[in-house]
Amino acid sequence: MKVLTERQIVNVKGWEVKLAELVRHCWTSNCRCYFPYQPLTTPEFWGDVVAKEWKENKMFSWACWDGEKFNAHFALVEKHTAFGNYWELGRVVSRTENPKFTVMHLHKVAMDFGRSVGFTKILAEATQAHTASQHICLRNGMRFAGLGILQKTEDGIYWDILYFDTADDYPFFSGRAGVIGNPFGVAIPCDESKKERLRQISEIISFEKESGLPPKNFHLHTSLFDEVNGILKCNLGKGSSIGEKLIREEKRAVINPLQGLFLAFEVGC
C-alpha cells in the first residue's frame, strides 16, 4: 500500500466517495454506522468541507491506498476550543484487515510532520470503544491528559474520550477533586452529569481490546488504570472495584508462571 497525502488523494477518481465508504465500513455493525461524527460518513462533507480545509492548510491527511480503495486515514486538523489553539490528531479510520502497526505508522508520520513544521500543541482523542488508539498514543510519546464525556446520544450511547497531548511540562493526569482532565493544563470540570457517567465507567472497565459496536464496556489500556482510577477516586470518593480486581488477576497471571519456572528449576527439571 502507498501512503498518500492530501495533495495526492485528490488525484484519485471519486476520492470523496471512497473515503466516506472507508469511514462507514470501519464503523458499521448490524447494518448501522456508529461513527460519532456522522458528517464524515458522507461524500459531500469530504468533497466540500474537507477539501476546503486542505486547500487552506487547516487539515493535513495521510491515507493508505492499494490502487482500488483507501484502507486507512489519519489527519491533523486545526482546532480552536476552550483548550486554546492546537492541532488535533483525528479522523482516524482503519480496516481491520490492514497490516499490523498501520495506524501506529500513520500516527508517527503525522506527529513527525507536525513537529517538523512547528506544531507544538497536538491533541488526540481516543475513545472507550477500543484500546488500540490509547496504546498508539502512549507508544508515540503522548501524555495522558484525562477524560472527557460527550452527551449521551439519542439512542442512549455514551462516547467517552481519553485525551492525550504534547504538554510535556505536565505529568500524566491522575485526578483532582472536581476535575477529570487537563489537556494543555486546562481543567475539565466534573459536574453532576459527568459524575453519573463516572459511576457507570467504574462498573464497566475492561482490559479487553474491544467488544464491538456500540461499545459495551469502557475499554482501558492496563497501563492507564492507575490514572483513571485516580480520577474516579478524586471525584466519586472511591475507585473501580472491578478494575482493581482485574489488575490483581493480571499481576497473579504474571507471577504464577514465574513461580512454576522457579519450582521446575529447584526439582531439576
What was the pLDDT predicted at 250? 85
Higher pLDDT, 106 or 259: 106
Q: Are 149 and 234 in contact (CB under 8 A)?
A: no
* 3-state SS, residue 267: coil
Assess whether pLDDT exceeds 90 at residue 146: yes
Average the pLDDT over 34-43 and give the result: 82
What was the pLDDT predicted at 34? 72
Lowest mean pLDDT among 83-87, 127-131, 180-184: 127-131
Give the pLDDT band of residue 255 (cuts 50, 70, 90): low
The domain made up of 2-197 is a member of CATH 3.40.630.30? yes
Q: What's the CA gap between 216 and 203, in Å, rounded?
A: 11
Phi and psi at residue 189, to the nearest 5°: -70, 155
- Which cell goes with 230? 485516580
Convert the pLDDT of each residue in 42-94 to its tens digit: 999 999 999 999 999 999 999 999 999 999 999 999 999 999 999 999 999 99
Residues 6+ apart with CB under 8 A from 212: 29
What was the pLDDT predicted at 265? 42
Q: Give the angle subtended at the CA of 108 by the CAs of 219 and 184, to the nearest 5°.
A: 65
Give the pLDDT band of residue 150 (cuts 50, 70, 90): confident
What was the pLDDT predicted at 102? 95
Phi and psi at residue 151, to the nearest 5°: -65, 145
What was the pLDDT predicted at 4? 98
Lowest mean pLDDT among 26-30, 64-68, 151-155, 226-230: 151-155
Residues 6+ apart with CB under 8 A from 154: none
CB atoms within 10 A of CB 222: 14
Strand partners for 44: none
Q: What's the CA gap between 67 and 140, in Å, rounded?
A: 29
Determine how β-strand 70-81 pairs with β-strand 84-94. Answer: antiparallel
Q: Are 263 and 225 in contact (CB under 8 A)?
A: no
- Which cell goes with 128? 472507550
Q: What is the pTM of this model?
A: 0.90
Domain borders along the chain are 2-197
What was the pLDDT predicted at 159? 87
Give the pLDDT band of residue 261 (cuts 50, 70, 90): very low
Average the pLDDT over 96-122 and give the result: 95
Tell me which amino acid residue 125 is. Answer: E
Q: What's the CA gap between 33 and 21, in Å, rounded?
A: 11
Q: What's the CA gap between 204 and 243, in Å, rounded?
A: 8
Q: What's the CA gap between 172 and 5, in Å, rounded?
A: 32
Residue 268: left if φ>0, alpha if ψ -120 to 50, beta else—which one? left
